Structure 1
């Protein structure tokens, strides 16, 4: 005879144990997001009366206080080994290095000096620094990232919608199968398989098997298959500096076959540098460069900053009297947008800019300018700038054109390896640029993108139109950009990616933000999408296979032939295990090495090459 007194206890025990283990596994799945919230220290060190530009301060000068008491404009001391407690700006003079790995995925510490912005949660691994607070608590970039990851985890992938549609009918189907099981073993079962009920109690057997079917069936595994994988995937992305806004973005990333790059600021560093220069005798290169820097001093134009930076580097490399002689002062500054700048240096007019501007303001011969341009081109070619460098001329009244500088926005250090990794993954890279076609082709050749896939001279609307043509042709397109001009294309793409430097309009339009600002993260994001979808498919396959095998077994399919049948407590344990298996399989995604998956080398911070 069948006795059921122990079954309810065992059934509830297995189900509760399964729920506890499932909850623990799901908590482990979200541990990366929890670790983000734990990055902020509980306390800070206030430096009252600190004067900007002084040394970093000492522990004796600091006043401990709770982080919640810190207000914007407070100056805090951050010692080596401390976590930066707030978003702010370094106001001390001593440079330091910060470990930003948990925020950006960058493996090496990053050099920071006076005026540099720092982010809460990063670790000071250099010298003591003083930081002026700009945002605390929920207003920090770290808290914003955590909120965005939580929002992303709430967004369903399309495959989840299919699982949700199946789960409802599945429950009614299981109840119908349970009723059919009871009816079969009450009626036809004993007649067809008398040995199966020889132990007695045909009605008791029918009730037991019907309960087994209800208990063993697991719609939970179907329901958990997608959200647990998305939870782990988005959390892993945050740990690797990939802010992914939802499971739908992960699913589209997994299907991507085409990647479009903006050029300036995405494949290139976004800042021109001087690669070559030439001066006309008797003017030395140092003298010509000092004249140009004196005219451009104070300008925020990227070309002006590149000239001043190189001049400062060369002056710093010089010593004693030679360095002081090149420190020139200028007056009567004026400039013309698109042409250049003019100033008086040591009583003589000096013009810097296009050849037409310099000839107009300082006079001179075009033949001499052509010779200087050719010499600067050779210098730039030696430094690897190619033929797409921008030419800037320097002229002095009474002397004519005295120098030429070749500047170029160089590719990022990791651009070529990132493009090669994408090609190994089966993706087709393109360049859509607003810059000149020749400049776009030069960069495309250096990073390994086929010339047929490089388009220059494009307006923002043109980029979006060409992108839609690729989509019409059947491509699943990822667009990578960094600026406002990329926003229309980012919004039109199947997946829009914005580098961290461009999280204004570009970031708002993007599905993925690359917090590390590294081109190699594009491949990591695609690899993460593929790995996440692989886990989802594994989970769904397991959930379907479990129910296809488990329900007939619970209904007594093997009872007539092998004398094997489940009881409710075993069915409950199997049901709990099926859910736990899905969650644990998703948790395995946390150990995925995305860089190794892409085959990308470790990225090291490096100064851009220049003529310095």
Structure 2
């Protein structure tokens, strides 16, 4: 069996994707056909002995759509050409702008008399002279006819696709739109013919009757309103390709290799297994392989999501797309090209996007029944009146009236208006939901899978516990620690320096500083030899750790990394650093539980650290030690068990899992690739916003169902009236004016109901102080130590908030600007919380100590913005 991906063109709704899927599934030799409406793609397996690519493409074409092999299309893109997705969006925008330009004068000519009666809007004399009165009836009607023709031509695809699918027995939303609009236009053209007949035969009553029975503005309004929704959908579809583009940008374009004893720079795609590659500081690793010579530290956060660089030396493995931070290394390339880790991640994102099942739109499902039902009613009603002796004109007018009054304005608005308001409300609160599909699926999620680093936790180590030996003051230990670590760029060293600065403690002056690869650092001061590092370094220095073994084991169980400090041959203290949990993480997890949603933590970290986080956060299930390429497999396994899965993550390594999940939610402070791969983005990096996103989706889906009710109840009442059901007994035949008003009222009800979503209130966490957070960590640590019969050690409590300040900032233009300002302020020493208001042009900052305004000004200006006031 061969696996292949195709690009499908011409699909507009879930009925289209279902039709393509059914058509290809009928081809002998095909298996696991999956059509994705959002990405316009199809993925399947087929037996090359039974069928072929041309046969598969023919099946798609016979179903009324276009198809091409995705790989071949990608190869053709090697030559510079316009992005088809952007081209489609631009074309749709062009149609929409010109449709509105022609629709507005059409509506004014048609309804200016009504505007004057209802709203008292004066009508210019020239308009009255040209369009008002029976004598101007032909001008009044023909002007609208000429104005609506460009609208219909611009949106001709609805008529072509709609009638094509109708004649093939698979009507969809386009069929509904095309028939409604065409019926309105045909009735208008018929009215012009009848008015001409009336003028020629002196029957002014006939002219007067038909001059008030025109539907040209409805013909134009239907296709224009539907195009608004299609344009918003097309923009959402354009996001999918960006994730792959950003992933591809991570892969180095060149590699420095040694061939025949000579260094040469070659394109990365020309690397072959066995090549010896040289990587200098700051460069990305171009392939997967094994270090032959040199030592360095590698930033693997692009792949693993873990913030601490990993030390590498001869014999260690290196991974493509990771960054060489410090040293100069030679390594042997073992997995190159399509076999590298980054290429596999790219492939996983692509496949997961292509195989994601489309969310069937409720309106399309209704349309599948509604369209043939309306056609049948119109034909039967017309035939019934003819059988009862009515004139052909009367019967035809009845049939046309049914089609006109069933125009899908409100049905077409039911879904997009609610989605527009819902996504707008989400964006207002820092929850960026990329598509209606994401809103639709979020309400059915029953399992939430979370990454650990940067999602549940802050993503950077902080000193959480300080243990001092007898006779050593805390301030003295911190001064020595800062003196030892001030020359290092390691994240743990940064955590130590931050802890010292928060206490206002200056580093002790040191001499003879030396970094000890993979173990720590050493230096001298005042005739003493100092060392800081892991247990291995202490063993080398002959420092006895027996008194601290239980303490070190407890730190490991709590997910903390201990830094041991020694003076000569004795321990003077231990600083434990950990990637601490965000203040609202525990509350968010508790609220997921209240909603009946299971929470799973999925992390590449070790089992002991993961278990410590699980206990503190109250998570039911944890999966630790997961490689990046296997995260998507765990999501797929949960889906195969019948779960609707949401994945929350922030790293490049999370991208395949975000794409595979039914709902991918990216933390706003995460990588661009994770953000692009996700269906929703939390700009404030707060897990409570994930709770809000799911609650919002439930509210939107409820609103859509209510909208569909209003849209359908209108048709249930009005279609029988239009069919003349009351005419035989009471002589009542539905007036076109009443029909038009009822159709407008249905649309108004839908819009007003959707606007109620503006009152949605997002979740806000209870105010959790820094002391409470530290106390939670302390309590968990003490409980675990008690179980090990070890004495609890004092916990370094974080300082309370001493400063709250609002900064006025100029120059922020978009969500990216908002993120840049947030990140710049959050990195300042002592800052504990930052909230950036894009619309208000301000930032609210909390800190543990007073920060001069000049410091804020410098940070904001360095980020490219201006502090005012």
TM over 0.5: yes
2:404 counterpart SS class: helix
Instruction: Give the corresponding residue for 2:478.
Output: 289
Instruction: Give the corresponding residue for 1:249.
Output: 438
Query: TM-score, normalised to structure 2's length?
Result: 0.47
Q: Which range moves more in the overlay, 577-586 or 505-514?
A: 577-586
1:168 Cα deviation from its structure 2 partner: 8.5
1:522 counterpart SS class: helix
The yes-or-no answer on 1:236 pairing with 2:425 is yes
Instruction: Describe the shift of the 1:3–1:170 C-alpha distance in structure 2 as closer, same or farther (beyond 3 A).
Output: farther
Q: Match for 1:586 among 742, 750, 754?
A: 754
Instruction: Describe the shift of the 1:493–1:406 C-alpha distance in structure 2 as closer, same or farther (beyond 3 A).
Output: same
1:14 Cα deviation from its structure 2 partner: 11
Q: Match for 2:528 among 328, 345, 348?
A: 348
- Cα distance in 2, alignment partners of residues 11 and 344 from structure 1: 97
- Cα distance in 2, alignment partners of residues 219 and 311 from structure 1: 67
1:438 Cα deviation from its structure 2 partner: 2.4
- Cα distance in 2, alignment partners of residues 299 and 538 from structure 1: 61
After superposition, residues 297-446 of structure 1 pair within 5 angstroms as 297-314=486-503, 316=504, 327-361=507-541, 363-370=542-549, 387-397=558-568, 399-446=569-616
1:259 counterpart SS class: strand
After superposition, residues 106-121 of structure 1 pair within 5 angstroms as none
- Cα distance in 2, alignment partners of residues 588 and 492 from structure 1: 33
1:409-435 CA deviation, whole Å, 9 max, x = no partner?
222111111111112222111111122
Query: TM-score, normalised to structure 1's length?
Result: 0.65
Unaligned runs of 5+ in 2: 1-202, 236-356, 775-795, 799-869
1:606 Cα deviation from its structure 2 partner: 5.5
The yes-or-no answer on 1:465 pairing with 2:625 is no
1:590 counterpart SS class: helix
1:486-523 CA deviation, whole Å, 9 max, x = no partner?
22322221111111111333223212111111010111
1:255 counterpart SS class: coil
Instruction: Describe the shift of the 1:508–1:342 C-alpha distance in structure 2 as closer, same or farther (beyond 3 A).
Output: farther
- Cα distance in 2, alignment partners of residues 562 and 10 from structure 1: 23
Instruction: Give the corresponding residue for 1:226.
Output: 415
Instruction: Describe the shift of the 1:401–1:312 C-alpha distance in structure 2 as closer, same or farther (beyond 3 A).
Output: same
- Cα distance in 2, alignment partners of residues 302 and 416 from structure 1: 25
Instruction: Describe the shift of the 1:286–1:236 C-alpha distance in structure 2 as closer, same or farther (beyond 3 A).
Output: same
Instruction: Give the corresponding residue for 2:714.
Output: 546
1:191-222 CA deviation, whole Å, 9 max, x = no partner?
xxxxxxxxxx8677545534432332122222
Q: Any conservation in 2 of the 1:181–1:209 contact (CA below 8 Å)? A: yes
Instruction: Describe the shift of the 1:338–1:255 C-alpha distance in structure 2 as closer, same or farther (beyond 3 A).
Output: farther
Instruction: Describe the shift of the 1:405–1:606 C-alpha distance in structure 2 as closer, same or farther (beyond 3 A).
Output: closer
- Cα distance in 2, alignment partners of residues 511 and 272 from structure 1: 29
Instruction: Describe the shift of the 1:211–1:505 C-alpha distance in structure 2 as closer, same or farther (beyond 3 A).
Output: closer
Instruction: Give the corresponding residue for 1:159.
Output: 360
Q: Match for 1:493 among 648, 656, 661?
A: 661
- Cα distance in 1, alignment partners of residues 693 and 615 from structure 2: 24
Q: Any conservation in 2 of the 1:15–1:576 contact (CA below 8 Å)? A: no
- Cα distance in 1, alignment partners of residues 673 and 741 from structure 2: 51
- Cα distance in 2, alignment partners of residues 529 and 539 from structure 1: 15
2:665 counterpart SS class: strand
After superposition, residues 2-401 of structure 1 pair within 5 angstroms as 5-8=207-210, 10-11=212-213, 158-160=359-361, 163-164=363-364, 167=367, 174=374, 177-188=377-388, 206=395, 209-314=398-503, 316=504, 327-361=507-541, 363-370=542-549, 387-397=558-568, 399-401=569-571
**Corresponding pairs, count:** 449
Q: Any conservation in 1 of the 2:689–2:762 contact (CA below 8 Å)? A: no
Instruction: Give the corresponding residue for 2:765.
Output: 601
2:626 counterpart SS class: coil
- Cα distance in 2, alignment partners of residues 585 and 217 from structure 1: 20
1:470 Cα deviation from its structure 2 partner: 0.5
- Cα distance in 1, alignment partners of residues 368 and 360 from structure 2: 15
- Cα distance in 2, alignment partners of residues 442 and 302 from structure 1: 21
Q: Any conservation in 2 of the 1:258–1:427 contact (CA below 8 Å)? A: yes
Q: Any conservation in 2 of the 1:243–1:513 contact (CA below 8 Å)? A: yes
Q: Any conservation in 2 of the 1:18–1:576 contact (CA below 8 Å)? A: no
Instruction: Give the corresponding residue for 2:740.
Output: 572
Q: Any conservation in 1 of the 2:430–2:683 contact (CA below 8 Å)? A: yes
Q: Which range moves more in the overlay, 582-591 or 508-517?
A: 582-591
1:158-208 CA deviation, whole Å, 9 max, x = no partner?
334x645865985676455334323322332x6xxxxxxxxxx86775455
Instruction: Give the corresponding residue for 2:252.
Output: none
Instruction: Give the corresponding residue for 1:196.
Output: none
1:558 Cα deviation from its structure 2 partner: 3.0
- Cα distance in 2, alignment partners of residues 219 and 366 from structure 1: 78
Q: Any conservation in 1 of the 2:463–2:576 contact (CA below 8 Å)? A: yes
Q: Any conservation in 2 of the 1:272–1:408 contact (CA below 8 Å)? A: yes
Unaligned runs of 5+ in 1: 34-155, 191-200, 317-322
Instruction: Give the corresponding residue for 1:117.
Output: none
- Cα distance in 1, alignment partners of residues 206 and 613 from structure 2: 76
Q: Any conservation in 2 of the 1:289–1:311 contact (CA below 8 Å)? A: yes
